[in-house]
A and B are shown apart, each in its own frame.
Chain A
Amino acid sequence: MMTLKVNGRDHQIEAEADTPLLYVLRDNLELNAAKFGCGLGQCGACTVIVDGKAVLSCVTPLLLLEGKQVTTLEGLGSIEAPGPIQRAFMEEQAAQCGYCIAGMMMRAQALLQKNPKPSDDEIRAELEPHLCRCGTHMRILRAVHRAAHLMQTADASTLQRSAQ
């Protein structure tokens, strides 16, 4: 039994220490935004934020998360009140099949938290570990710029949520 902090709430988790975070998120907590893509840390679909950094949850065992803050896409906003990164991806229609998008958004969110105005090159370099087979790359690029803009102009409540 261990305590896992996800999206600002403490959860008591019954799982082996070597269980990947992704399985706990999806199976125990029913947070299904993070996707199982390759299970090898090679595609980025499972990306979540841990203590402000983008982390591949499929190769992150539970025991590494003691005392750390996990944020998933669900923690950035809801359907009724999407966070800036979510609004931006919707407004740019940046998803086609959408399987990779949650991971893309989480790494973009982590990038914008440390670099509020990234250049095209910085976004490309940061999102390089993420695979997208559909090819909405140019829209994703525009969406990250739009999210950066929204974050600078967003109201305080949205900002607070996205900073978790």
Chain B
Amino acid sequence: MTKGRILASVAAALLIGGGVAAFAIAWRPAIAAIEPPSPQSFDAAMVKRGRDLAAIGNCSTCHTVRGGKDFAGGLPVPTPFGTVFSSNITPDAETGIGRWPESAFRRAMRSGVDRDGEHLYPTFPYDHFTNVSDEDDHALYAYLMTRQPVHAPARANQLAFPLDQRFVVAGWKLLFLRHGAYQPDPTRSAEWNRGAYLVEGLAHCGACHTPRNALGAERASAAFAGGDVDNWTAYAINAQSPAPVPWDADALFAYLRDGWQPDHGVARGPMAEVVANLSQTPDSDIRAIATYMAGVFGAPAPDRKRRGEEVLARIKSPPAPAAQADAAGAAIYAAACATCHETKRRLPYGGVNLALSTAFSSPDPRNAANIVLSGVRPVEGERSPIMPGFAASMNDAQVATLLNYLRSRFSNQPAWSGVDKTVADARRAQTVFLQTSAGPQDAPADASQRDKP
């Protein structure tokens, strides 16, 4: 045998070996289809438990598209790799999960594989859902299988080769998917452990609030250091939080319970959908999430605490007059913003004092641009926060002028750069977001606020 032939056979053996190994890694068996179970075959208490869990999991936000039926999928989810469309998780036999036995549902949650054995893209956050317990998966299955079946075929994803090949996801999982149920920390309280189980698992907070690496996986070393979703910045919710007033467990509880908090403002953008869904969640679970997250934020350093107190003191005194250079921004603010944001009308129906708003102290101006352009849509048929959008009355340069003014007046941070581009991008992206997202369907539930103006 010549040297060349030896090399060729070695290469062939490696290729075949590699192929077999890759096949073993990527291949998952199909799980046999079942006849769709009748809704009556599920225990009502279990269905209700599943409903509460699905609200914490924020399932409907991605699996419902504006104008579409609940859980019927079709929402375009933009990613750096292309657009992935959410799937139909109603119990429709042909286009939903009607023929999935519970074992197939559990496998999807645990390891991101559908009933046919195909790998699911990690836009479905199974890197978090892998922590969900068998009992909770059982309840979620009961809830989803008792929804109204909707015939809605999945839309084709817009991904370039080779990412359009689902076996590629097996490699991603090998690198980034850590299987396993949540292991409680015996040195912590039951409440903290409950919060950790929810935050790291079903609630998948890190999916937006943790930055991702080049392959789209959350960077474990930067947990909760801030990320992106739908052209919104998801703020850092650890020690790097840019909030003017530091968060604590009570403030987090109030914000997640009511959808707003006097020292921080109102949830909007994708977070408005999260708090709307949490309106169905019992106080105990919200308290657990707040307790765990307060630990992630950590107690503020003394100077950070002092700065927060200064901001709270400052908003009680009248503001300093604007510098001449800011006259245009100040005039827009006076006529378009101050009528709500400086009336001292209580949240959530009055606007937050912008010195308290994380949008203006954040290093990234996107949320401020989004909110000026699109405002806050009220929840249909509910008392809820509202802000008009200014996309029709201000051009990009005027929005940029306003944002630069607000940044210099209401934060002690350096000026933003590239605000013009941010505004132009925000105008484009928000149009898409507002057309496709179903938006919050319930106002956060603080019954005591319902009758107040």
Report A's interface with B, CB cutoff 8 A: 16-20, 39-42, 50, 53-56, 59-64, 121, 128-129
Contacts and interface: CB of A to CB of B under 8 A. Distances in A.
Given A40-B340, A56-B393, 16 more contacts: A16-B331, A18-B331, A18-B335, A50-B393, A53-B393, A55-B392, A55-B393, A59-B335, A59-B336, A59-B393, A60-B335, A60-B393, A62-B335, A63-B328, A63-B331, A64-B398
Interface of B: 67, 327-328, 330-332, 334-336, 339-340, 380, 386-388, 390, 392-394, 398
Contacts of B393: 50, 53, 55-56, 59-60, 64
Contact of B339 (A16, A50, A55, A59): A59
A20 B338 CA distance: 12
A50 B392 contact: yes
Given A60-B336, A60-B393, A129 B388 contact: yes
Nearest to B335: A61
In the A-B complex, list the 3 residue pairs whose CB atoms are closest, starting with the nearest.
A61-B335, A41-B388, A53-B392
Contacts of B332: 18, 61, 63-64
A64 B334 CA distance: 12
Given A56-B393, A64-B393, A64-B398, A39 B339 contact: yes
B267 to A, nearest CB: 18
Contacts, number: 55
14 contacts: A17-B327, A18-B335, A20-B335, A39-B339, A40-B339, A41-B340, A54-B392, A56-B388, A59-B393, A60-B335, A60-B336, A60-B393, A63-B331, A129-B388
B156 to A, nearest CB: 26
A106 to B, nearest CB: 12
A19 B335 contact: yes
Nearest to B375: A41
Contacts of A60: 335-336, 393
B332 to A, nearest CB: 6
A29 to B, nearest CB: 17
A163 B335 CA distance: 29
Contacts of A63: 328, 331-332
Nearest to A55: B393
A17 B336 CA distance: 12
A54 B380 CA distance: 21
A53 B389 CA distance: 13
A41 B67 CA distance: 26
Contacts of B387: 41
B331 to A, nearest CB: 4
Contacts of A121: 67
Contacts of B335: 18-20, 59-62
Contacts of B67: 121
A17 B340 contact: no
Output the residue of A17, A18, A39, A55 with the most chain B CB within 10 A.
Answer: A18
